[in-house]
Amino acid sequence: MKLKQKLAISDSGFIFDPTTGESFSINQEGLTILQLLKEGKTEEEIKKIFLNEYDVDETVLDRSILDFISMLKNYNLIENGE
Amino acid sequence: MEKKKFERPVIKKVQIGMPSKFGLKSEYAPIKEIDGVPVKDLIQQYGSPLYVFSEKTIRETYAEAYKAFSTRYPKVQFAWSYKTNYLNAICKVFHREGSWAEVVSGFEYEKALKNGVPGNQIIFNGPYKTKEDLVTAIKNHSYIHIDHYDEYYMLIDIAEELQLRPQVAVRVNMDTGIYPQWSRFGFNYENGEAWDIVQRILISNKMDLVGLHCHIGTYIMVPWAYSTAMNKLIDLFLGIEKKFNKHLQYIDIGGGFASKNTLKGAYLPGTDTCPTFDQYADSITSTLINSSINIEHLPTLILETGRGLIDDAGYLLGTVHATKRLPDGKNSYITDIGVNLLFTSFWYDYKITPAQEFGPYTEESVVYGPLCMNIDVLREYVQLPPMKKGDHFVISRIGAYNNTQWMQFIMYRPNVVLIDTDKKTHIIRKKENYETFAIQEQIPEHLK
């Protein structure tokens, strides 16, 4: 899964999509996922990182990431064809 | 190394222009405990959902209301409105504080008696009193507030039959300048009906007219409406003094004080718009004090405030059963609290607060109950911090009308707990189970 290439991600959680002019706000967990996706990490790798760093069980994490990615798709923040 | 607390990852589009109908963020801190008892422990011990009442808040709110009136007027009597919340333990707290009982049915009357309220401290209101109800009330010397002519004639018949004199007051309805005007209860002031019934009672001499009563509406946001109502009752009071040389014992101004809940569609939160007890008291008592009533014959002022006294003391604790993304991208929660447990959610936008720590981020959410019915929506639009399956939350100010108008529908009703002033918890109504309902049902022989 690839994020849109030109997506601007600020460290404070502000996202700007220059292709549409739309802006987004995001919480810390969402920001971490976006940064990891930008680094090219896979969904599985992201899950491992979260399980190491956060107090969360695997089912809740799976469910949360699934929902988050559906929102990224909903906002067209994923490269076409992904 | 201690692991970080996990919050569901969320992203939302920044909208510029018109404000969102989801409103602004309203939750800044979790409600982790009620009167010092952790929400988590309450749910662990008594289950979820769970109604929780704070005895401390009930007593403090009563004291505040009583002080507002008694410091302005010499003779004040509160009567607890049973229909607002007739769980016996709740009623008993009010009775211990000095409240009489205000009931509107034979069932409520029975409850008041069983709660130890003497008959002469029960006010019997309402449009539907059966002959049996009236006989009991007359024998117990309760105050019967006459609602219509048929009731009046029924009282005359009973009085003759029993050779007893009922203690009665007349319920008066009137235009106080607010909308809606409650006109279905009692006798109208403006068209002379109220004066007519007063004269009939006094001329027939079959019963003792001891008071006047009105109840102008519910969730009244403007204290001056009570002043208008009081002026009209005072006019009747003085008319009775002048024509019949009779001094009534009391004026019952009813209830209807707003609570701090926010009505659906209101621009500002109820916490900002709800008048204080002092404002209501000022409006009511100054009208009485400044009237032409002789100071020797000032009537007792009776108040039947329900909502204003109990709403703040009640909490409903719940749990997120699932989160679900709706087709339009909105987040939704399926919780274990249905509209059958929170009947008043049809007219209030309830405050829903997570019971655990949360970050600064919020998302637009819809909060559903567990019922397989499309109408089961607790909040249609609300900005909430992200919660996940298993998280707890607290709905505040639910003390009024929910434990009387709740419905057993699809699921059993849960435990109701009282936290006493020593922070001890007590079940005041047990959760229902299959037996609760099985005992009421019967199966005809041919279907067995």
Q: What's the token pair of residue A63?
A: 């469910």
- A-chain residues within 8 Å CB-CB of B5? 54-55
- How far away is chain A from the Cα of B330, in angstroms, using its nearest Cα? 9
Q: What are phi and psi of B102, to 5 degrees?
A: -120, 115
- Contact between chains at B9 and A75 (C-beta distance less than 8 A): no
Residues A24, B14: C-beta atoms closer than 8 Å:
yes
SS (H, E, C) B99-141: CEEEECCHHHHHHHHHCCCCHHHEEECCCCCCHHHHHHHHHCC
The pLDDT tens digits of the residues spanning B86-107 come to: 999 999 999 999 999 999 999 9
In the predicted model, is pLDDT for residue A2 greater than 90? no
The pLDDT score that the predictor gives to residue B11 is 92
- pLDDT tens string B347-392: 999 999 999 999 888 888 999 999 999 999 999 989 999 999 999 9
Domain with CATH 3.20.20.10 in chain B: 55-310
Q: What is the pLDDT of residue B21?
A: 56
Reply yes or no on whether the pLDDT at B277 is more than 70: yes
Pick the residue of B11, B325, B362 with the most A CBs within 10 A to test the interface with A by mutation: B11
List of chain B residues whose C-beta atoms are within 8 Å of the C-beta of residue A75: 11, 13, 329
How much is the pLDDT for B40? 97
Q: Rounded mean pLDDT of B339-353? A: 94
Question: Mean pLDDT of all residues in chain B?
Answer: 94
Nearest Cα neighbor of B221 from B268, B169, B185, B158 is B268
Confidence of residue B320 (pLDDT cuts 50, 70, 90): very high
Q: How many CB pairs under 8 A join A and B?
A: 81
| Band (B272; pLDDT cuts 50, 70, 90) | confident
Q: Are B337 and B49 in contact (CB under 8 A)?
A: yes
Exposed/middle/buried for residue B263 (C-beta within 10 Å: 0-12, 13-18, 19+): middle
pLDDT of residue B23: 61
pLDDT digits (tens, 9 = 90+) for B174-220: 998 888 888 889 999 999 999 999 999 999 999 999 999 999 988 88
What is the percent of chain B with per-residue pLDDT over 90, rounded to a whole number?
Answer: 85
CATH 2.40.37.10 matches B33-53+312-434: yes
How many residues comprise chain B? Answer: 448
For chain B positions 339-398, those within 8 Å of chain A (CB to CB) are 359, 361, 386, 388-390
Does the distance separating the beta carbons of B388 and A60 come in below 8 Å?
yes
Does residue B147 have a pLDDT over 70? Answer: yes
**Could you tell me which of B247, B249, B260 has the C-alpha nearest to residue B301?**
B249
- In terms of pLDDT, which residue wins out, B217 or B397? B397
Q: How far apart are CA A36 and CA B322, in angstroms?
A: 27
Chain A contacts to B (CB-CB under 8 A):
13, 15, 22-30, 32-33, 50, 53-56, 60-61, 63-65, 67-68, 70-72, 74-75, 77
Show contacts of B65-68: CB within 8 Å, 24+ apart: B65/B277, B65/B303, B65/B305, B65/B308, B65/B309, B66/B97, B66/B98, B67/B277, B68/B276, B68/B277, B68/B278, B68/B280, B68/B281
Phi-psi map region of B218: left, alpha, beta (phi>0 left; psi -120 to 50 alpha): beta
| Mean per-residue pLDDT, B44-51 | 98
Contact check, Cβ <8 Å, A55/B13: no
Mean pLDDT throughout B142-170?
Answer: 97
Residues 6 or more apart whose CB falls under 8 angstroms from that of B341 comprise B49, B316, B369, B402, B406, B413, B414
Say if B10 is an interface residue toward chain A (CB within 8 Å): yes
Predicted confidence (pLDDT) at residue B27 exceeds the cutoff of 80: no
The predicted pLDDT at position B87 comes to 98
Alpha carbon B316 to chain centroid distance? Answer: 15
| B327 reaches A (C-beta below 8 A) | no
- Position B19 confidence tier, pLDDT thresholds 50, 70, 90: low
pLDDT of A73 over the 80 cut: yes
B153-159: which pairs have CB atoms within 8 A and are 24 or more residues apart?
Answer: B155/B206, B155/B207, B156/B204, B156/B206, B156/B207, B158/B131, B158/B134, B159/B206, B159/B207
What confidence tens digit (pLDDT) does each residue in B433-448 have?
Answer: 999 999 999 999 999 9
Tokens describing residue B190: 């403006």
Residue B25 above 80 pLDDT? no
Interval A10-42: pLDDT, tens: 988 899 999 889 999 999 999 999 999 989 899
- Domain B55-310, CATH number (from 3.40.190.10, 3.30.365.10, 3.40.50.970, 3.20.20.10): 3.20.20.10
Rounded to two decimals, what is the model's pTM? Answer: 0.92
Backbone angles phi, psi at A8, to 5 degrees: -95, 125
Q: CATH 2.40.37.10 in chain B, residues? A: 33-53+312-434
